[in-house]
Amino acid sequence: MAHFVIIGAGECGARAAFALREKGFDGDITLIGSEPHAPYERPPLSKVGLAGNADPKFIAARESYEAGKIRLLTGITATSLDTAAHAVSLSDGSQLAYDRLLLATGASARAFPDAPAESPHIRSLRTHHDAVTLRAILQPGKRLAVIGGGFIGLEVAATARQLGADVILVEGLERVLKRGVPEDIAHLIAARHRTDGVDLRCGVSIESLTEQDGKAVIRLSNDEVIGADLALIGIGAWPNIELAEAARLVIDNGIAVDDRLRTSAPDIFAAGDCCSFPLAIYGGRRVRLESWRNAQEQGTLAAANMLGADEPVSAVPWFWSDQYEMTLQITGLADGAVTHLRRDLGEGAFILFHLDAEGRLLAASGIGPGNAVARDIRLAEMLIAARAHPDPAALTARNVKLKTLLAA
Ligand SMILES: Cc1cc2nc3c(=O)[nH]c(=O)nc-3n(C[C@H](O)[C@H](O)[C@H](O)COP(=O)(O)OP(=O)(O)OC[C@H]3O[C@@H](n4cnc5c(N)ncnc54)[C@H](O)[C@@H]3O)c2cc1C
């Protein structure tokens, strides 16, 4: 009987395992994960999950793996990969032979240079375990220092304020969310954080990050010294490529795959945060996405292609972030955009459409309370997928429904 092995029991690996069964695969499936838990959702770790729940939000109940005859190995790491022998070695000393393999190893939080690696006061946030440690200090009378004004840092800052902790956030660049978020939206988010009492400092670099007397100590470039009960490092993530690299798979900003999610080694696929892939709607440009929906969709697509479907990646990138009462949604990739058009949606919500020099819609970014931008972002996504060149006047006119542009 064929044996399909999935390394990485996160969003992507779990979705792939279930998708294999849903698509009729009746061979053996082994899903291997380093973490002690069954696969769980990461987005809640910086949002409500951090505020309330003691357990992670599992992607599926344990019984679902049993029902689907998916052998789930938790707390076990794949330590090496022999592509010629089609075999994987595991941290418990065992070896597994595979017919097809999926690498869904995800990403790890980037460490701050020269900061103590094991300090309880200097942490990053990637796992449920990280979230539990962080949650313990998010209470009145405690001080959190967030290093980096990216999505995770900002979401944690919002959650920390909601739980009553003092928050200072230090960003080295001149504004938060410099990567991928338009200035208007970033300013709005920064203002919201300041209104809620976050001491937000931009354009300040950090000279050193150390631990002293049970505190994190941050020395800024202006010689100011900040003490905090915990410093949360939120300076991005690196793809987990070590296993693939040691097995001599091609690496290019992640495990390089083609548009079918095939790696350079026979019978090995890669998907989710760990891989870079060519995106046809942007001229085959190679990208690596760190996004929940991408991990889900690529898990499902990898499963189909492991079964021989031969389907290309076609999804438009999509990402969301929740901070306070606001939700930000971004679809597409805005690099190369020269025109940015605004459509107001009421209740403080708006969308920016990003167009290239020929008027093609490349991306849309929207922000507003709750779900205010969801429907229009979904329509923008469909316009992007259709490579549409929408009428700029119609994009900005609130009384023109985006749906009509799609029909056009
Ligand atoms: C705090 C936080 C908040 C987020 N919020 C959002 C959000 O609001 N919106 C959004 O779109 N995205 C968000 N994301 C991103 C989203 O969660 C990721 O894109 C998604 O989890 C990627 O899934 P993945 O399966 O590719 O990788 P991961 O979820 O990283 O899973 C990979 C798994 O593989 C395991 N692994 C790695 N190497 C091995 C090995 N050799 N052997 C065995 N196991 C291994 C890892 O331990 C891990 O459990 C957030 C991420 C974090 C951390």
pLDDT per residue over 360-387, tens digit each? 999 999 999 999 999 999 999 999 999 9
Nearest-angstrom CA–CA distance, 209 and 157: 19
Question: Where, residue-wise, is CATH 3.30.390.30 in the chain?
Answer: 325-407
Q: Which of 7, 42, 58 to mutate to test the pocket of ligand 1 (most atoms within 8 A of CB)?
A: 42
Average pLDDT over residues 108-120: 91
Q: Does domain 325-407 have CATH number 3.30.390.30?
A: yes
Average pLDDT over residues 234-248: 97
325, pLDDT greater than 70: yes
Q: What separation in Å is there between the alpha carbon of 339 and the centre of ligand 1?
A: 33
Question: Which residue's alpha carbon is nearest to atom 20 within ligand 1?
Answer: 292
Nearest-angstrom CA–CA distance, 210 and 220: 12
Question: Where, residue-wise, is CATH 3.50.50.60 in the chain?
Answer: 3-108+238-306, 111-233
Q: Does domain 111-233 have CATH number 3.50.50.60?
A: yes
Q: What is the pLDDT of residue 51?
A: 66
Q: What is the pLDDT of residue 52?
A: 65
Q: What is the pLDDT of residue 53?
A: 64
Question: How many other C-beta atoms can be found within 10 angstroms of the C-beta atom of residue 89?
Answer: 16
Q: What is the share, in percent, of the chain residues with pLDDT greater than 70? A: 99
pTM of the model as a whole: 0.97
Question: Which residue's alpha carbon is nearest to atom 53 within ligand 1?
Answer: 126
Q: What is the CATH number of domain 3-108+238-306?
A: 3.50.50.60
Relative orientation angle of helices 151-162 and 183-195, to the nearest 10 degrees: 20
Nearest atom in ligand 1 to the alpha carbon of residue 298 is 26
Residue 408's pLDDT band (cuts 50, 70, 90):
confident
Q: Of all residues in the chain, what percent are helix, strand and coil, respectively (each to 5)?
A: 25, 30, 40
Nearest-angstrom CA–CA distance, 327 and 349: 9
Nearest atom in ligand 1 to the alpha carbon of residue 33 is 44
Residue 49's pLDDT band (cuts 50, 70, 90):
low
Going from the C-alpha of 372 to that of each of 37, 223, 361, the distances in angstroms are 34, 43, 21
Q: What separation in Å is there between the alpha carbon of 95 and the centre of ligand 1?
A: 25
CA nearest to 408, candidates 383, 376, 385: 383
58, pLDDT greater than 70: yes
Nearest atom in ligand 1 to the alpha carbon of residue 156 is 1
Helix (H/G/I), strand (E/B), else coil: 188: helix
Residue 179's pLDDT band (cuts 50, 70, 90):
confident
Is the Cα torsion angle 3, 7, 9, 15 positive or negative in sign?
Answer: negative
Question: Which residue's alpha carbon is nearest to atom 31 within ligand 1?
Answer: 10
Sequential DSSP letters for 300-311: HHHHHHHTT--P
